[in-house]
Amino acid sequence: MKHDYDIVIAGGGLAGLTLACALAPTGARMAVIEASPPQADRPPSFDDRAIALAHGSRLIFEGIGLWDGIAPCATPIRKIHISERGKFGFTHLDATEEQVPALGYVAPARDLGRALMARFDATGIAHLRPARLADFNTEEDGITLSVDSSGNACKITAKLLVAADGGQSQIRDRLGIKVRRWDYGHTANVSNLVPAKPHNNIAYERITSDGPLALLPMTDNRFGVVLTVPTAQHEEILSLDDSDFLGLLQERFGYRCGRFQRVGSRSAYPLSLITAKESVRQRVALLGNAAHTLHPVSGQGFNLGLRDVAVLVDVIAGALKRGEDPGEERILQAYASERQSDQRNMAMVTDGLARLFSNPLSVITTGRNIGLLAADLLPGIRHQIARHAMGLKDAHARLSRGLSIE
């Protein structure tokens, strides 16, 4: 049977659009379905949040040929400093010690989205937007998708459906894929600020008894701020005026970077962990947040999604080169088994850090500080933490090694 498309990607957020751009050179017939309207100028995730991109993610973007478009808005992270307010423990990671130009980069999600859209528009891949994948039916040799576009329903067929429809994935739910879900009871309050002293490309993770505070170096000597607060306090904190909010941040962070001068607009994200127990079903593959939604404590969610992209591209490009069907079970199983350990480990590590960094019990606080100090004194441990932060573990796919698929 001749299908309308080889691959349909449902969800044109960061993960879905990156996959489309990465697969463009294969010549596969593709469409991206995105629910948000073009007038909105961006899908919901292309907002003001600062995304920390690991060194490994830069390699993936280089492999896709996208890094040149992202580099102008990406600020290098040369050092990472982790400490606890008012306590003795701290540790640091240094790009020089790891012999890399930067441990990672910080780019506003809005600018990342812009760079992706510019490349995507040049590929000629069909963009069904605003359109919503309403339902689908899987058959032996393909999948039929019901697409709802401004009240008009149409049906299209494909060999493979990629679910890149985010943490609340309806595709995942419709398939009955079970998830592990944990509501942290915390909300991330996101903004940016200008400190009095230069940030010197250092990223800070400050542990406080109310939850972690991350400051990520950005252009124009700004820091991207992710302040994690108990959800019960979040409305009150969101309603503070700028000067009181700056005072709160200053109190939690201290004066290492001088007095905080200005703060930008603020937005809030309730935090939960969602991990899908399966990442493929017949003719469907889950990608990005649809497969795993993580706490932003170590800035790994999209980085993990990019490694999904790298592996999925490897298996699909290989199948297409051999003249095989990219939606075949064997191909999708190869993706699932290759991604399993990285997805599981990253969810475990991030979840562990989120709980550890938010635990006010004094025995945990003391252990945490001894751990930080030990990590700082032992280069072997520091190196392992740095490799984890740089996303260099499980980097086997061509794109993960910075190589193009052509």
Ligand X SMILES: Cc1cc2nc3c(=O)[nH]c(=O)nc-3n(C[C@H](O)[C@H](O)[C@H](O)COP(=O)(O)OP(=O)(O)OC[C@H]3O[C@@H](n4cnc5c(N)ncnc54)[C@H](O)[C@@H]3O)c2cc1C
What span, in angstroms and rounded, lies between the C-alpha atoms of 8 and 30? Answer: 6
Whether 331 and 321 have beta carbons less than 8 Å apart is answered as: no
Instruction: Compare residues 187 and 365 and give the one whose CB is closer to ligand X.
Output: 187
Which range in 32-40, 172-180, 275-283, 310-318 contacts ligand X by CB under 6 A? 32-40
Taking CB under 6 A as the criterion, which residues in 223-262 touch ligand X? 226
Which residue's entry shows tokens 């309308």?
Answer: 4
Of 7, 8, 9, 14, the one binding ligand X by CB under 6 A: 14
In whole angstroms, the minimum distance from the beta carbon of 238 to ligand X comes to 14
Residue 195 falls in which region: left (phi positive, over 0), alpha (psi -120 to 50) or beta: beta
Angle between helices 55-64 and 301-321 (to 10 degrees): 30
Of 98, 111, 165, 210, the one binding ligand X by CB under 6 A: 165
Residue 187 interacts with ligand X (CB under 6 A): yes or no: no
What span, in angstroms and rounded, lies between the C-alpha atoms of 391 and 385? Answer: 10
Q: Which 8-state DSSP code applies to residue 49? A: P
**What are the structure tokens assigned to 311, written together?**
């592996």
Instruction: Compare residues 154 and 370 and give the one whose CB is closer to ligand X.
Output: 154
Q: Where are the beta strands (DSSP E) in 113-230?
A: 126-128, 132-139, 142-149, 152-163, 179-195, 202-207, 213-217, 223-230
In whole angstroms, the minimum distance from the beta carbon of 42 to ligand X comes to 9
Of 89, 142, 301, 327, the one binding ligand X by CB under 6 A: 301
Which residue's entry shows tokens 């069904």?
Answer: 128
Binding characters for ligand X, 59-98, by CB under 6 A (x = yes): ----------------------------------------
Which range in 37-45, 70-78, 246-254, 363-371 contacts ligand X by CB under 6 A? 37-45
- Give the interface size with ligand X as a residue count (CB under 6 A): 37
Which range in 10-18, 196-204, 323-331, 352-360 contacts ligand X by CB under 6 A? 10-18
Of 300, 343, 350, 400, the one binding ligand X by CB under 6 A: 300
What is the number of other CB atoms lying within 10 angstroms of the CB of residue 197?
11
Instruction: Compare residues 15 and 405 and give the one whose CB is closer to ligand X.
Output: 15
Whether 365 and 87 have beta carbons less than 8 Å apart is answered as: yes
Instruction: Compare residues 289 and 358 and give the one whose CB is closer to ligand X.
Output: 289
In whole angstroms, the minimum distance from the beta carbon of 296 to ligand X comes to 4
What is the number of other CB atoms lying within 10 angstroms of the CB of residue 62?
18
Residue 188 interacts with ligand X (CB under 6 A): yes or no: yes
In whole angstroms, the minimum distance from the beta carbon of 366 to ligand X comes to 29
What span, in angstroms and rounded, lies between the C-alpha atoms of 83 and 86? Answer: 9
The Cα-based distances of 130 to 13, 33, 309 in angstroms read: 13, 8, 23
First to last CA, the chain: 28
**What are the structure tokens assigned to 287, written together?**
């990608």
Of 3, 5, 6, 13, the one binding ligand X by CB under 6 A: 13
Identity at 23, one-letter amino acid code: L
Which range in 47-55, 116-124, 278-286, 326-334 contacts ligand X by CB under 6 A? 47-55
**What are the structure tokens assigned to 231, written together?**
């959800």
Of 12, 217, 326, 327, the one binding ligand X by CB under 6 A: 12
Of 132, 222, 281, 382, the one binding ligand X by CB under 6 A: 132
Taking CB under 6 A as the criterion, which residues in 332-371 touch ligand X? none
The Cα-based distances of 133 to 9, 128, 169, 261 in angstroms read: 10, 10, 11, 45
Residue 111 interacts with ligand X (CB under 6 A): yes or no: no
CA 265 to chain centre: 21
In whole angstroms, the minimum distance from the beta carbon of 379 to ligand X comes to 26
Site residues, ligand X (CB under 6 A): 10-16, 33-36, 43-45, 49, 51-52, 132-133, 164-167, 170, 188, 190, 226, 269, 288-289, 296, 299-303, 305
